[in-house]
Homo-oligomer: A and B are copies of this chain.
Amino acid sequence: MFSVTVRDHMMIAHSFRGEVFGPAQRLHGATFVVDATFRRPDLDADNIVVDIGRAAQELNAVLGQLTYRNLDDDPAFAGINTSTEALARVIADRLVERIEAGALGDGARGLTGIAVTLHESHIAWASYERAL
Residue numbers of A with Cβ under 8 A of B are: 1-9, 11-14, 16, 18, 20-24, 26-33, 43, 46-49, 51-53, 56, 67-70, 80-86, 88-89, 105, 107, 120-130
Contact = CB atoms under 8 A, between A and B. Distances in A.
Given A2-B85, A26-B68, A68-B23, A9 B123 contact: yes
B28 A69 contact: yes
**Copies in the assembly, this chain:** 6
A18, A124, A129 interface centre (most CB from chain B within 10 Å) = A124
B18 A46 contact: yes
A122 B121 contact: no
A122 B81 contact: no
B23 A85 contact: no
